[in-house]
Amino acid sequence: MVSSEHIYHTLRQEILSLELSPGQRIKEEDLAARFGVSRTPVRTAISRLSAERLLKVIPRQGTFVAEIDFAYSRQLVFLRTSVEQRLLPMLCADLPEGLVPRLEENLSRQKLLLEGNFQPLQFYRLDNRFHELYFSAGGLDAVWKVLQQFHAHYTRFRMMDMRESGLFQQFYEEHKRIVELIRVGAAGELTRLIAHHLEGPLDRIDPDHCREAAQVHAGDE
């Protein structure tokens, strides 16, 4: 018997990867048939995703994948950029032992993915892990955990940028440059690069276009 936990994690993954698009309607009866269960575990999963603001339940209209809130995403980017612009110069001033090899190992996995059976969500996970490595090395594990409280919404924002731009090779090259600058202690150039790296999606994503796409999904139901 498929559990509500399994349904929750499956739908959550599909929302984060944009398999279920912002604005798309989902129906309880379709999900119940898909997972071979009654509507009760489906409703439990929907309730959890609604509490995370990943689904939007509108009485007498239906359940929809929440649209990406670009104003909110902009604030998350501001937060990430502000923290990393403080953290990276700290690492340059006192380079933690073993950090560069760990970052380089992550880069090797990114390169293998780009050259092999590429999947955007896998690249995003490596991207996220890349940043987590230097938060941890800088003793800011708790700060990283706080940032991860907003991870689901930031993930969809980044996934949309990756899907729309296709600039995976550029992201990899920027990661390589970050490691090079950390190694040589170029704090000033590093703070400029990380701002460009993290804020780039704000310039590339057109919020109006994405809202229109969400309206199309809603109107198709």
Question: What are the extents of the domains in the chain?
Answer: 4-66, 70-209
User: How far from chain centre, in Å, is Cα 121?
Assistant: 9
CA dihedral 198, 204, 210, 212 (to 10 degrees): 160
DSSP secondary structure string for all residues of 87-154: HHHHHHHSPPTTHHHHHHHHHHHHHHHHHSS--HHHHHHHHHHHHHHHHHHTT-HHHHHHHHTTHHHH
User: Can you give the pLDDT at residue 210?
Assistant: 54
Distant-in-sequence, close-in-space partners of 208: CB < 8 Å, separation ≥ 6: none
Third-level CATH fold of 70-209:
Four Helix Bundle (Hemerythrin (Met), subunit A) (1.20.120)
The residues that bridge with 62 in the sheet, in sequence order, are: 58
User: Can you give the pLDDT at residue 217?
Assistant: 46
User: Can you give the pLDDT at residue 219?
Assistant: 47
Interval 20-33: pLDDT, tens: 999 999 999 999 99
d(CA 51, CA 177): 39
Is residue 5 helix, strand or coil? helix
What confidence tier does 168 reach under pLDDT thresholds 50, 70, 90?
very high
Please report, rounded to a whole number, the percentage of residues in the chain having pLDDT higher than 90.
Answer: 71
Third-level CATH fold of 4-66:
Arc Repressor Mutant, subunit A (1.10.10)
User: Can you give the pLDDT at residue 116?
Assistant: 87
User: Can you give the pLDDT at residue 216?
Assistant: 46
- Neighbouring CB atoms inside 10 A of 197's CB total 20
Interval 198-209: pLDDT, tens: 999 998 887 765
pLDDT at 218 over 50: no
User: Can you give the pLDDT at residue 117?
Assistant: 80
Interval 60-104: pLDDT, tens: 899 999 998 888 889 999 999 999 999 999 999 999 999 999 999
Q: Compute the 3-state secondary structure of the chain and give helix, strand, coil in percent, each to the nearest 5.
A: 75, 5, 20
> What residue type is 101 in one-letter code?
P
- pTM for the full predicted model: 0.81
User: Can you give the pLDDT at residue 162?
Assistant: 86
Interval 170-214: pLDDT, tens: 999 999 999 999 999 999 999 999 999 999 999 888 776 555 544
Burial 89-108 (b: 16+ CB within 10 A, else e): bbbbeeebeebbebbeebbe
The per-residue pLDDT of the chain, averaged, comes to 90
Overall average pLDDT of the 26-55 stretch: 94
Strands, sheet with 55-58, edge to edge from the N-terminal-most edge strand: 25-26, 62-65, 55-58
- Is there a contact between 80 and 198 (Cβ–Cβ < 8 Å)? yes
Overall average pLDDT of the 130-155 stretch: 91
User: Can you give the pLDDT at residue 204?
Assistant: 87
What confidence tier does 164 reach under pLDDT thresholds 50, 70, 90?
confident
